[in-house]
Amino acid sequence: MKFSFARKISLTAGLLIVLSMAVLYIMFRSENVESQENRYTKQQLYPTVFVHGYKGTFNSFKTMMDRFENEYSWGNRTLIVYVSKFGELNFIGRVPTPPSEPVFVQVVFENNRATLGDTSKWLTSVMVEIKQRYYVETVNLVGHSMGGLVITHYLKENANSMAIPKTHKLITIGSPFLGIEKESYHKVNTGAAVNDLRPNSNALLKLIRESSEFPKNVQSLVIAGTGDQVVGVNSARGLKQIVPPENYHEKIIDDPSIGHSGLHETLKVDRLINDFLWGFK
């Protein structure tokens, strides 16, 4: 059967329309996939590790991470690492390889009253495992109170180690680099860590004395509050005696209603962390 010229034109036009739609679909799909892949910058995909302080528990950073995940959609907590009092590690979850969105790692120490040195060694074990298991090359580190001291000690002790991930940025929240001056604090609290938290303790003096061993390229942010009745602003600012001046940043929250534990429960600190690490709008 012969097709008329008009019929051939109609079929050709139809074919061209179908082909055009297919090409547009493929282009749109490719652009959409590329858009998803480029949704985050390389720096935003560095896993962020959170370390609690003296007497801290899983709950120390729980509600903050809940806000990060559910209220702001800044990422997801994909891994919790429990460290026993003997230094044994228990991994709950994993770090995706590679991550397709920002991920948070929470470290919880069973012996939450141990010395600065012991806790730092346990953190080192955690970071070695994270690198080996999940091929993580770079991380951000966030510590509250003594957690900030532990991280700083860990970085100083491992500045040249290839066994751990590199640290891109460090945030300390209410960390007593010059010690806790309130004598009542030392009377009511117990454990080996209390000695390290005293002003002019051997652990703190050594941390400052050996500041030249701290990595030279870690951008660091101190967050402190005028309402913190445990760690004074000047003590929190003590990190500036350890990190190079060009890498030191600070944000002081002038709000008497925000106490020491409240620093990781306020939206003001949430925003400061985001601005320094990820820059989400």
pLDDT of 36? 43
Q: Which residues contact 39 (CB under 8 A, 6 or more apart)?
A: 101
Q: Evaluate whether 215 touches 170 at the Cβ level (below 8 Å).
A: no
222: left (phi over 0), alpha (psi -120 to 50) or beta: beta
> Which residue has 């141990």 as its token pair?
114
Does residue 248 carry a pLDDT above 70? yes
pLDDT, tens digit, for every residue of 18-37?
455 544 444 544 444 344 45
pLDDT of 31? 42
The token pair at 41 is 């910058």
pLDDT of 233? 98
Strands 76-83, 89-93: pairing kind: antiparallel
A 10 A CB-CB count for 161 gives 14
Q: Which residues contact 222 (CB under 8 A, 6 or more apart)?
A: 172, 175, 236, 237, 239, 240, 248, 249, 250, 251
Does residue 261 carry a pLDDT above 70? yes
pLDDT of 26? 45
* Phi/psi at 220 (5° precision): -125, 140
* DSSP for 68-136, written as a single string: IIIIS---EEEEEEEE-TT--EEEEE---SS-SS-EEEEEEESSTT--HHHHHHHHHHHHHHHHHHH--
pLDDT of 33? 36
pLDDT of 11? 52
pLDDT of 12? 55
Percent of the chain at pLDDT > 90 equals 86
Q: How large is the average pLDDT for residues 146-161?
A: 97
Q: From residue 136, give the alpha-carbon distance in Å to each of 39, 45, 105.
A: 20, 11, 12
pLDDT greater at residue 20 or residue 251: 251
pLDDT of 81? 98
Does residue 88 carry a pLDDT above 80? yes
pLDDT greater at residue 128 or residue 15: 128
pLDDT of 25? 46
Strands 248-253, 219-225: pairing kind: parallel
pLDDT of 136? 98
pTM to 2 decimal places: 0.87
pLDDT, averaged across the chain? 91
Domain ranges of the chain: 1-38, 41-277
pLDDT of 72? 97
Q: From residue 96, give the alpha-carbon distance in Å to each of 47, 123, 149.
A: 10, 20, 28
pLDDT of 34? 42
The CATH class, in words, for 41-277 is alpha beta
Q: How large is the average pLDDT for residues 7-17?
A: 55
Q: Which strands make up the sheet holding 166-173, listed edge to edge? A: 89-93, 76-83, 103-109, 48-51, 138-144, 166-173, 219-225, 248-253
pLDDT category of residue 193 using cuts at 50, 70 and 90:
very high
Instruction: Please give the Cα distance from 165 to 130 (Å, whole number).
Output: 8
pLDDT of 4? 57
b/e sequence 113-148, b meaning 16+ C-beta within 10 Å: bbbbebbbbbbbebbbbbbeebebeebbbbbbbbbb
pLDDT, tens digit, for every residue of 33-82?
344 456 899 999 999 999 999 999 999 999 999 999 999 999 999 999 99
Q: Which of 65, 130, 67 lies closest to 104, judged by CA?
A: 65
Element (H, E) at 170: strand 166-173
